[in-house]
Amino acid sequence: MLVSRGGLGGIVPPRSYSAFLCWLTVYKRTWRSSIWSSLLGPLFYLGAMGFGLGSLVDKHGTASLGGVSYLVFVAPAILASGAMNTALSEASYPVFGSVKWNRIYIGAQASPLRPGDIFRGHLTFMAMRIAMNTAIVTVFIWAFGAAPSPWVVLAWPAAVLTGLAFAAPIAAWAVTVTSENSFAYLFRFGMMPLMLFSGTFFPLSQLPGWLRPLAYATPLWHGVALCRALSLGSGLHADLLGALGHVTYLAALAAIGIWAGARTYRRRLYV
């Protein structure tokens, strides 16, 4: 009989929680292989971009960065784009593989779990992975003195939200994919341009005017802008409405993904 107790303080419904536990059990076995990239990746980025490139940029004046050092400018962007990267890697191949390779979904499907439970359980695990990786980056940022504002603690949940805004819709799509080649396109033509043109490594003011609206429409720009506002603190006072706008945009994207995922999973698993 089903136990009506939800997991994670009752936030996750009981059936989705049992699907999440499956991923947690697998992760307990495999976390060692991913922990180094989670730790060293952001460390390399902060070091190379913040200190390496930063020492060059800072010599030429940082007015266009809002008067802060390049390290301070780039650190929240590394946080937000790191959230996106974790989301993409957790929501692409693992979702596809759960249908085609290790067939975790197919096994789970024979239990009382419904496609929506399987989806939400896996998404909860993705959120956990995003939260773990972004927590590491947030700690690095703080340790390097790259965040002037104490609000940076809120940059962490902001980054998790950014990650979810990617993970939910991408998982909803990934379950429908018939060939893993689709993910190569996602990474090459989706992740790469976003990574470069979302106000991450240089402010959008450096882009030609006609390109800027395009950048404003991308979710990563909202994530970066939100994390940056929180990390700098100053931006938050100046534009609280803007920050709320970013949150709304990202939350809406995550919500659409969560809504769509229950449907695409059902269509894919119940044939």
Partner 1 sequence: MPGSHRDDVLVRARGLTKRFGSFTAVDGIDFDLYRGEAFGFLGPNGAGKSSTMRMIGCVSPPTSGELAIFGLDPVRDGSAIRARLGVVPQDDTLDVELTVRENLLVYGRYFGLHRRVIRERTTALLEFVQLADRAKDKVDPLSGGLKRRLTIARSLINEPEILILDEPTTGLDPQARHVVWDRLFRLKQRGVTLILTTHYMDEAEQLCDRLVVMDHGRFAAEGSPRELIERYCSPEVLELRFDPELHESAADKLKDFSAERTEVLADRILLYVRDGDATLAEVRAGGLEPLTSLVRRGTLEDVFLRLTGRRLED
Least distance (Å) between residue 102 CB and partner 1: 6
Give the nearest distance from C-beta 111 to partner 1 in angstroms.
Answer: 4
Which residue's CB is nearer to partner 1, number 31 or number 44?
31
For residue 2, report the phi and psi dihedrals to the nearest 5 degrees: -80, 135
User: How many Å apart are CA 113 and CA 192, to the nearest integer?
Assistant: 36
Residues that bind partner 1 (CB under 8 A): 1-3, 14-15, 18-19, 21-22, 25-26, 29-30, 102-104, 106-114, 269-271
Residue 136's nearest CA partner among 201, 40, 232 is 40
Between the CA of residue 155 and those of 135, 171, 230, 243, what are the distances in Å? 10, 24, 6, 11
19 or 236, CB closer to partner 1? 19
Nearer to partner 1, 36 or 270 (CB): 270
Q: Which is closer to partner 1, CB of 241 or CB of 271? A: 271
Residue 29 CB, shortest distance to partner 1, in Å, is: 6
CA distance 81 to 75: 10
> Minimum distance from CB of 230 to partner 1 (Å)?
37
Q: How far is the CB of 98 from partner 1 (least distance, A)?
A: 10
d(CA 256, CA 163): 14
| Residue with smaller CB distance to partner 1, 55 or 102 | 102
Q: How far apart are CA 11 and CA 81, in angstroms?
A: 26
The C-alpha atoms of residue 211 and residue 198 are separated, in whole angstroms, by 11
